[in-house]
């Protein structure tokens, strides 16, 4: 159906008819009666009626608004599952012995009361969505569109003056509750649809300002029967940021409870996104809280898309995305949407839903809400996991003590108690000294910021203006806000340039991390001694703390720069300043701005005043304190658990000493079952996290692979060559997928998550790069399975395939007088291998399966780069018991003979075997296998009785120096073995 080039393919095309003449041509071409039709809307209704008849569209069809009911119902089901986990943990806790219960209450004071409180919290349904936007961006129109009712004021110059909460009505009533400031009471408005005066009053009060240009209301609650508000969804409309510092404080409270954020952009503006406005809003959000703001829980909506010329739309959207990435470097394309609230509202009036709005809802809001809700669920998951981990630890300690007959071995208990007391004292000192590092910097930073901003160079950059860079003429409130944003941006540029040069923040991060690396290493050694005494998996608090704190502190932009970061130093300083519209001097300054012929002079005066406001009172100190506090938050929230854990350990030992000395227990019958149940609950909880809470790094659509292009096959997973799409680019990757026998289930998910967590914390040139993970759901024979997919850096070869059993000329395969080039090549490989291995050891990790197959090769600038892989198998030294792990020929004697807890020195033994293989070019498994067959011995027998090692008496044996390194590294006594750093330094001498 068409009329002179205007083609009708759907209802939206009819609604989009450009003018009356086009409408009349369509009416005529469709054979309809035009008598009585005068306006475009009348014509559209006639055409829509005819379209619906021909397309058999029933009355009301397509008019039902999109809802979040499915999303929220899914969240309700997830919360119910989590509530079930609480019930299961409580039931299990009730079955524990009094000894273990007392230990849990030592770590989690008032455990049962706290558990009940958290259960009530998980039952709360409120889901806040905070909505903000550029001036006249159509924010209120967007909310009205969601509600399908013209409730909020939408005049061009009107704005929301106070916070408005829009909730689902109780018993279908329609009312507004206005909360007056200073506890002066509330007033109600009954929003009966035929009483237009009530809506007028509501809109008036939403915009109302008092003599101080501030809203007389603390907030306004609007109750309305809307499908989108069902099941606890609460829309929060916000006034402009920057006009009132008291409002900023109120906003902070919403930030703690908001699940999602929607920011409306005015696409009709020539510049598109008002970067200063968005920066100002988000800078306030980020710097008013010591939490890390999650940009993934945010949608950006480019409104007024209908006025953007078609030929410019792609360019405008790309430009908007570029501006957004300068504020949020990790924002993704799928978080940015285009819509026209005018066209969408018109569609609603004609019984349709605009396609762009439908797309926004289905692909934006419906994704935003569940992703945001997961943040809340995660806090509950983490708490339950901590509880179960502590129960597991307590049970292991108790079971191990009984197995060793501790009741008759008072010396063992005494030694443990002394060790834990020492550890507690050291931990207290570490915590205090690390926190003081940041706190002591406030005065120094205050002085440096004052000196910088009061310097002539900084004042020239901030206060010198030309007319074309000044705010456009408007009312004084808008000018003052624009001026505030512009001045703040200049201050940010000056301070961030200073920070990039002096690296104050980076230096602070490095000092805190270094302090923890040094001190936690001491605690790790002490914890390992405790683990050795108990012969169990040691408590891993210090390693978890180090990883947690390092991760929090190193969460900056990918290139390491802090410039343009909302959480940067410049933002922290600038948000301490303000040109408040309630300030009399600001009013006086900009009241006559419309007619001022020298705006640059006004801006210079405003810049000086803004900078002075930074240093007035305690605002800058408070802002810097919050800024620096972000670096110690991890210490406060995670590391301070060490003393509590250690105190609980001491009390547990004391109780055990009493119980085990006075009663004959049946621990050997009871505790294995309790341990199994605790591990089962932990596995089930982790499976809940993976299936319901975990944020996957990529979608399946971003990965392509051929099942026949296999890079490796293992007992647990297979590795394929794949292609990963990142933005507009594609990169070759290795895709590790668990095989059919090892789908993700409660019995293995905890180990899988441990591997994933380990890989995420590793960043080194000689460690395989980890891109992330995702789940693959499969179905076979009616059975659904989940496979774990790990995306890793692609490498073209392994060191073994290059150096062993092929044509490569190894040092041990050429005459002694001609092998220097081979030794140099060997040294180049070994230096890189040792660098990666030492990195693991510095992080208190043991590889546990170091072998040539797990040393890969890639290229960078035509040079071969060594990459350690399968590092996900690594474990903290404190977490390793006598379990068998690795490839037998590479295993250290203490692992094969299971003589107890082993450490990083086991990796050094494996390194010695690798050095032997590189030298001779032989497979060590075949070599040792032949020796054992000749002697009719097992590997364990060979190690135990013959101190079995690969032969160094083969043709062209190593130089005396290299042989000494190999022999020392595979010494029977772990303490005599070298460190990876020592081996690296030795081989560097050949380069």
- Phi–psi pair at 725, nearest 5 degrees: -95, 120
Cα 265 to Cα 338: distance, rounded to the nearest angstrom: 9
Residues listed for the chain: 991
Contact (Cβ atoms closer than 8 angstroms) between residue 197 and residue 277: no
Structure tokens belonging to residue 880 = 């390793």
Helix (H, G, I), strand (E, B) or coil at 625: helix
Check: CB of residue 799 under 8 Å from CB of residue 857.
yes
Is 686:694 a contact under the CB 8 Å cutoff? no
Query: Given the structure tokens 């772990």, which residue do they identify?
Result: 974
Please state, in angstroms and rounded to a whole number, the distance separating the CA atoms of residues 645 and 654.
14
**Greatest pairwise CA separation for the chain in angstroms:** 109
> What is the 3-state secondary structure of 295-363?
HHHEEEEEECHHHCCHHHHHHHHHHHHHHHHHHCCCCCHHHEEECCHHHHHHHHHCCCCCHHHHHHHHH
Residue 440 · residue 508 · CB < 8 Å: no
Contact (Cβ atoms closer than 8 angstroms) between residue 907 and residue 841: yes
d(CA 873, CA 756): 10
Residue 885 neighbours by CB under 8 Å, 6+ apart: 848, 849, 873, 895
Contacts of residue 381, Cβ cutoff 8 Å, sequence gap at least 6: 82, 685, 688, 689, 693
Annotate 788-827 with b (16+ C-beta within 10 A) or e (fewer). Answer: bbbbbbbbeebbbeebbeeeeebbbbeeeeebeebbebbb
With beta carbons less than 8 A apart as the criterion, state whether 194 and 562 touch: no
Whether 131 contacts 240, CB under 8 Å: no
Q: Check the annotation: does 736 bind a ligand.
A: yes
Which residues are CB-contacts of 520 (< 8 A; sequence separation ≥ 6)? 430, 542, 543, 545, 546, 844
DSSP class of 972? S
- Collapsing DSSP to helix, strand or coil, 773 comes out as strand
Residues contacting 445, CB < 8 A, separation 6+: 504, 624, 628
984 in the Ramachandran plot: left (φ > 0), alpha (ψ -120 to 50) or beta?
A: alpha
Say if residue 723 is exposed, middle or buried (CB neighbours under 10 Å; 0-12, 13-18, 19+): middle
Q: Are 737 and 774 in contact (CB under 8 A)?
A: no
Q: In sequence order, which residues have a C-beta less than 8 Å from that of residue 817 and are 6 or more positions away? A: none
**762/839 Cα distance (integer angstroms):** 9
Strand partners, 721: 734
> Which residues have C-beta within 8 Å of that of residue 290, sequence separation ≥ 6?
626, 629, 630, 633
Place of tokens 């090692």: 949
Query: Residue 763, Cβ neighbours under 10 Å: how many?
Result: 10
Tokens of 831: 């230096």
Q: How many CB atoms lie within 10 A of CB 386?
A: 13
Contact criterion met (CB below 8 Å) for 710 and 720: yes
Q: Which residues are annotated as a binding site for ATP?
A: 736
Q: Which residues are annotated as a binding site?
A: 736
């Amino acid at each position: 159906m068409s009329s002179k080039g205007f083609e009708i393919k759907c209802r939206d095309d009819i609604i989009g008819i450009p003018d009356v003449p086009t409408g009349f041509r369509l009416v005529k071409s469709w054979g309809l009666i035009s008598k009585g039709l005068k306006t475009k809307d009348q014509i559209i209704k006639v055409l829509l009626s005819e379209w619906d008849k021909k397309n058999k569209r029933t009355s009301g069809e397509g008019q039902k608004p999109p809802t979040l009911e499915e999303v929220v119902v899914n969240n309700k089901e997830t919360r119910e599952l989590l509530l079930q986990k609480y019930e299961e943990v409580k039931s299990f806790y009730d079955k524990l012995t009094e000894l273990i219960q007392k230990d849990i209450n030592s770590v989690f004071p008032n455990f049962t009361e706290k558990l009940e409180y958290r259960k009530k919290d998980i039952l709360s349904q409120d889901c806040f969505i905070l909505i903000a936007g550029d001036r006249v961006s159509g924010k209120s129109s967007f909310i009205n569109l969601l509600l399908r009712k013209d409730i909020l004021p939408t005049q061009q110059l009107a704005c929301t003056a106070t916070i408005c909460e829009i909730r689902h009505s109780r018993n279908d009533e329609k009312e507004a509750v206005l909360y007056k400031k200073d506890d002066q009471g509330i007033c109600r408005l009954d929003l009966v649809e035929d009483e237009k005066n009530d809506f007028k009053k509501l809109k008036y009060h939403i915009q109302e300002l008092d003599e101080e240009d501030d809203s007389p209301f603390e907030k306004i609650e609007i109750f309305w029967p809307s499908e989108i508000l069902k099941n606890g969804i609460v829309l929060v409309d916000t006034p402009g940021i920057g006009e009132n510092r008291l409002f900023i404080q109120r906003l902070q409270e919403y930030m703690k409870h908001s699940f999602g954020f929607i920011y409306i952009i005015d696409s009709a503006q020539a510049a598109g996104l008002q970067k200063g406005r968005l920066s100002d809003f988000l800078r306030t959000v980020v710097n008013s809280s010591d939490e890390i703001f999650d940009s993934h829980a945010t949608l950006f909506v480019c409104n007024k898309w209908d006025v953007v010329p078609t030929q410019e739309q792609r360019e405008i959207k790309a430009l908007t995305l570029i501006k957004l990435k300068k504020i949020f470097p990790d924002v993704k394309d799928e978080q940015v949407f285009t819509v026209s609230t005018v066209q969408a509202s018109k569609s609603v009036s004609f019984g349709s839903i605009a396609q762009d709005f439908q797309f926004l809802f289905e692909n934006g809001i419906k994704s935003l809400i569940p992703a945001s809700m997961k943040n809340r669920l995660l806090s509950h998951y983490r708490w339950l996991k901590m509880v179960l981990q502590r129960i597991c630890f307590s049970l292991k300690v108790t079971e191990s003590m009984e197995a060793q007959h501790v009741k008759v071995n008072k010396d063992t208990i005494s030694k443990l108690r002394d060790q834990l007391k020492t550890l507690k004292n050291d931990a207290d000192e570490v915590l205090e000294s690390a926190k003081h590092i940041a706190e002591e910097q406030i005065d120094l930073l205050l002085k440096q910021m004052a000196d910088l901003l009061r310097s002539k160079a900084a004042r020239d950059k901030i206060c010198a203006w030309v007319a074309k860079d000044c705010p456009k003429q408007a009312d004084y409130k808008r000018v003052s806000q624009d001026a505030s944003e512009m001045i703040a941006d200049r201050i940010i540029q000056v301070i961030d340039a200073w920070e990039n040069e002096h690296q104050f923040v980076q230096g602070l991060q490095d000092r805190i991390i270094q302090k923890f690396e040094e001190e936690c290493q001491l605690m790790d050694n002490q914890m390992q001694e405790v683990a050795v005494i108990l012969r169990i998996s040691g408590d891993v608090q210090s390693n978890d703390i180090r990883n947690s704190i390092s991760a929090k502190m190193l969460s900056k932009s990918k290139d390491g720069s802090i410039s343009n970061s909302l959480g940067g130093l410049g933002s922290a300083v600038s948000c301490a300043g303000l040109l408040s519209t309630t300030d009399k001097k600001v009013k006086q300054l900009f009241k006559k701005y419309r007619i001022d012929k020298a705006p640059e002079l006004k801006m210079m005066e405003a810049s000086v005043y803004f900078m002075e406001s930074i240093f007035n009172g305690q605002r800058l100190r408070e802002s810097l304190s919050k800024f620096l506090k972000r670096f110690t938050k991890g210490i406060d929230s995670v590391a301070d658990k060490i003393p509590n854990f250690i105190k609980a350990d001491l009390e547990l030992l004391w109780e055990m000493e009493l119980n085990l000395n006075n009663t004959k227990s049946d621990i050997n019958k009871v505790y294995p079952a309790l341990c199994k149940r605790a591990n089962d609950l932990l596995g089930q909880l982790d499976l809940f996290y993976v299936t319901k809470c975990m944020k996957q790094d990529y979608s399946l659509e971003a990965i392509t692979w051929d099942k026949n292009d296999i890079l490796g096959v293992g007992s647990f997973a297979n590795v394929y060559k794949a292609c990963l799409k990142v933005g507009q680019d594609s990169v070759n990757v290795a895709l590790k997928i668990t095989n059919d026998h090892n789908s993700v289930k409660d019995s293995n998910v905890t180990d899988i998550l441990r591997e994933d967590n380990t890989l995420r914390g590793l960043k080194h040139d000689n460690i395989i790069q980890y891109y992330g993970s995702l789940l693959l759901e499969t179905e076979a024979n009616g059975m659904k399975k989940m496979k774990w997919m790990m995306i890793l850096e692609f490498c073209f070869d392994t060191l073994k395939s290059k150096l062993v059993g092929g044509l490569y000329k190894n040092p041990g395969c050429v005459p002694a007088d001609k092998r220097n080039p081979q030794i140099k090549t060997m040294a180049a490989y070994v230096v890189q291998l040792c660098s990666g291995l030492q990195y693991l050891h510095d992080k208190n990790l043991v590889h546990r399966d170091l072998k040539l197959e797990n040393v890969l090769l890639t290229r960078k600038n035509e040079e071969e780069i060594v990459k350690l892989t399968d590092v996900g198998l690594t474990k903290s030294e404190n977490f390793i018991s006598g379990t068998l792990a690795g490839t037998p020929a590479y295993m250290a004697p203490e692992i094969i003979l299971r003589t107890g807890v082993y450490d990083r020195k086991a990796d050094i033994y494996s390194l010695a075997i690798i050095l032997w293989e590189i030298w001779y070019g032989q497979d060590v498994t075949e070599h040792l296998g032949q020796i054992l067959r000749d002697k009719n011995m097992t590997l364990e027998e060979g190690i135990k009785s013959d101190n079995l090692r690969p032969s160094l008496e083969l043709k062209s044996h190593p130089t005396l120096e290299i042989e000494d390194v190999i022999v020392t590294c595979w010494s029977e006594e772990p303490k005599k073995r070298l460190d990876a750093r020592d081996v690296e330094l030795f081989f560097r001498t050949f380069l």
